[in-house]
Homo-oligomer: A and B are copies of this chain.
Amino acid sequence: MRDVLPPLRIGIAGLGTVGAGVIRLLRENREGISARAGRTIEVVAVCARDRTRDRGIDLSGIRWHDDAASLAADPDLDVVVELIGGAEGAAREAVEGALSRGTPVVSANKALLALHGASLSALSARHEAPLLFEAAVAGGVPAIKLVREGLAGDRLLRVGGILNGTCNYILTTMRETGRAFGDVLADAQALGYAEADPSTDVDGWDAAHKLAILAALSFGRPVAFETLHVEGIRDIQPADLHFADELGFRIKLLGLAREGEAGLEAWMRPCLVPKAAPIAGVEGVFNALLVEGEFAGSQMIEGRGAGAGPTAVAVVADLIDLARGARLPVWGVAQTCTPARCVERGQLSGAYYLRLDVQDRPGVIAEIATILSGYGVSLRGMVQHGEADDARDTDSVAIALLTHRTSEQAMLDTISRIEVLPSILGRPLMLRIEAG
């Protein structure tokens, strides 16, 4: 425990906010980090696109590489830290290059881990080079350590939660103000809560990458990401939030993965959750992790979404673990295996919310109900925005239907029949109902 170990020499690929933050943290808390790591951690090499940019940190004495592949091949490094981002290109080359040479890697790259989890874990095992990625799911909740280590003894049944603060902020604000998605998004962009290109957040990809990583850790097996059903929040209208509220629900962009009878059920999609469910109370930029284990039972942990500071701290946590000799397999268990495919959407079953904009004339509802019943879907409730609703177009009316438990295929078939009816205006919206 008290041997004096040589410094851990690291190379950092990518010097954006997080990369520069890691260097600053390693310098400013050098003594504390050495005490925790049992040895010093030295940045000996870096690479980034632009050598001349002022990053507010002194890079003198640090070896410069012109590209990530060259850094990854640097024989003098004990660890390569990949902070470039993106599932392909330079990031993937750096990580694969380092692992192939037996060099341990720390990465903050959720897309890379989510999309290439199987090949990366095989590479890591073959070359006995650990790959750690606490910063890939660095929300305000220490999700990776919790699932991979804290709950390692339990048999996990379910994992997921509210994994994107931007979407949760937008949905919360839409509900509170009655404003439309586009307006609230524009404000969120102005406030810095949403990126200039919002697609990664609002189309559900960022959250889906996190879900795939959490599912792989929970079930000890990577997920075939292309089989994961991903929906964002662009189609949610103020009317939906209003209907949900009337019916006793909140709308949340929820991701869940569970081992079902037919295989791995995993999706990221907006859902109705009962107002009384703890997850319904997670509002604004907060994230929440749901984990259910056979022994530990259900747990929900809520925390604020994290920025560059906590992400740099998560990267350094992995470096300290490596400095102390951590040798965990990528997904927590040693055997390499083929990725788990998620069951097809049609094979899921559940209760659903269906919002339709219809022509305001007699017989429309009867027509819809007949189609639903033809597919074996039974209704649990219906509401319609009443006459007093000033905002509605007088020629159309919005109706919301809640179904009993049914197969998702029956819902998809129903919708394909309903959406071509002349009395249906615009696209129907179907949301899943989850107990939370």
Please, how many angstroms separate the alpha-carbon atoms of A399 and B220 in the complex? 60
Per-position binary interface string of chain A over residues 318-339, scored 1 when its CB falls under 8 Å from any chain B CB and 0 otherwise:
0111001101110011110000
Contact B35 A151 (CB under 8 A): no
Q: Does A276 contact B (CB under 8 A)?
A: no
Q: Which among A294, A302, A335 has the greatest number of chain B C-beta atoms within 10 A?
A: A302
Contact A327 B145 (CB under 8 A): no
Contact A320 B149 (CB under 8 A): yes
Decide yes or no: A327 and B1 within 8 Å by CB, A141-B301, A333-B36 being known contacts.
Answer: yes
Q: Which chain A residues in 173-191 approach chain B with CB under 8 Å? A: none
Option from B154, B297, B320, B335 in Cβ contact (under 8 Å) with A153: B320
Q: Does A128 contact B (CB under 8 A)?
A: yes
Decide yes or no: A29 and B153 within 8 Å by CB, A21-B295, A310-B297, A334-B38 being known contacts.
Answer: yes
Per-position binary interface string of chain A over residues 47-64, scored 1 when its CB falls under 8 Å from any chain B CB and 0 otherwise:
000000000000000000
Pairs A-B, 4 closest by C-beta atoms? A153-B316, A35-B333, A142-B150, A36-B152
How far does the Cβ of A28 sit from chain B's closest Cβ, in whole Å?
8
Please, how many angstroms separate the alpha-carbon atoms of A168 and B21 in the complex? 38
Contact A33 B153 (CB under 8 A): yes
Per-position binary interface string of chain A over residues 289-321, scored 1 when its CB falls under 8 Å from any chain B CB and 0 otherwise:
000011111011111101101101111110111
How far does the Cβ of A309 sit from chain B's closest Cβ, in whole Å?
5
Copies of this chain held together in the complex = 2
Contact B128 A1 (CB under 8 A): yes
Q: Does A140 contact B (CB under 8 A)?
A: yes
Closest to A327 in B: B1
Option from B293, B294, B303, B313 in Cβ contact (under 8 Å) with A301: B303
Q: Does A125 contact B (CB under 8 A)?
A: yes
Q: Does A361 contact B (CB under 8 A)?
A: no
Q: Does A32 contact B (CB under 8 A)?
A: yes
Per-position binary interface string of chain A over residues 354-374, scored 1 when its CB falls under 8 Å from any chain B CB and 0 otherwise:
000000000000000000000
Option from B38, B146, B151, B310 in Cβ contact (under 8 Å) with A299: B310
How far does the Cβ of A144 sit from chain B's closest Cβ, in whole Å?
9
How far does the Cβ of A201 sit from chain B's closest Cβ, in whole Å?
21
